[in-house]
Amino acid sequence: MRANQDEAVDALVNRNKDIYVSWESVRDQSPSEYIERGYLDADDDIRLRTVAECCNCFGAGYKGFQGSGAKHKFEEDTDIKRLKFYPNGEWDNRLTSDGNRFTEFHINSEENDKYAWSRLTELNQKIALFSHEKISSTKYEAIFKGLYHVNKVESLKNKKVTYDRISKIMPTYYPKNVIAPKVIAEAYDKEGYMVAHFYDVEVLDVFKQKYEDEYEYIWNK
C-alpha cells in the first residue's frame, strides 16, 4: 500500500514538473521580455512562436496575425519577415550557415522576376528576419537573425533577391498606444543605426560589458 502511495506521489510531482517547464517555456517566448529590455540580439538565440510575436517585438501590438510578415511600425524603411528556409512549395529560400546572407527565390521564373522587380524598386530594402525552423515533429519556432539590406548587385547577378546582414541587433518598441518607460540611453553602430535603447541602467551595463567600445552611447537627459 505504501509503495503504491509513493508511486502516486512521484507521478504527481513529475507531472507538475512537466507543467512547470512547459509554462516557463511559453513565458520565455513572450515578446514582453525583449520589449522591456529594449533590443533583440541574434547572438542570444531568441525564439518566438508566431508572426504576431515577431512583429510585437517591434511595437505592433497584434493579438493575431495572418501572413509571413508586416511593415515595421516605427522604422518605416523596414519590413518584418518570418521566412522558411526549407522545402516550401514554390519558394526556395536559402540562409547561409553563418547567417550573414539570405536569398528569396520563386521557382516559377515569371513570379520570381515579378517579386524581384517589386522588392528591388518598390518595397522596403531592409528586412528584420526571423527564420522559421522545425524543432520537433509538431513544433516550429521563429528565430531572430538580425537586420538585413537588399544587395542589388548580387540580386541582379544571381537572379535571386539577395540580402546581407547589416546588424545582429535591433531595438524593440512598446506599442504606440502604451505609455513606455523613459529611455535613458541609446546605442548606435558606426553607420548611425540605433541598435538598442535602454530603460534600465543594469541592462545598459550588461550590454556595454558584452560589446565594450563597439557602439556609441548617447544618454538622454
pLDDT (mean) for 209-218: 94
Taking only the tens place, the pLDDT of each residue in 70-122 is 999 999 999 999 999 998 899 999 999 999 999 999 999 999 999 999 999 99
Q: Is 10 helix (H, G, I), strand (E, B) or coil?
A: helix
At 221, the pLDDT band (50, 70, 90 cuts) reads confident
* pLDDT exceeds 80 at position 11: no
Q: Which amino acid is at 2?
A: R
Which pLDDT score is estimated for 65? 77
State the amino acid at position 17 in one-letter form.
K
HEC readout, 29-79: CCHHHHHHHCEEEHHHCCEECCHHHHHHCECCCCCCCCCCEEECCCCCCEE
Give me the mean pLDDT over the 138-157 stretch. 95
What is the predicted pLDDT for the residue at 25? 37
Residue 29's pLDDT band (cuts 50, 70, 90): low
Q: Single out the residue of 211, 83, 86, 91 nearest to residue 142, CA to CA.
A: 83
What pLDDT sits at residue 19?
Answer: 32
What is the C-alpha to C-alpha distance for residues 138 and 11, in angstroms, rounded to an integer?
Answer: 25
**Reported confidence tier of residue 190, pLDDT bands at 50, 70, 90:** very high
Sheet of strand 216-219: strand arrangement? 194-198, 185-188, 216-219
Q: What amino acid is encoded at 190 in this protein?
A: K
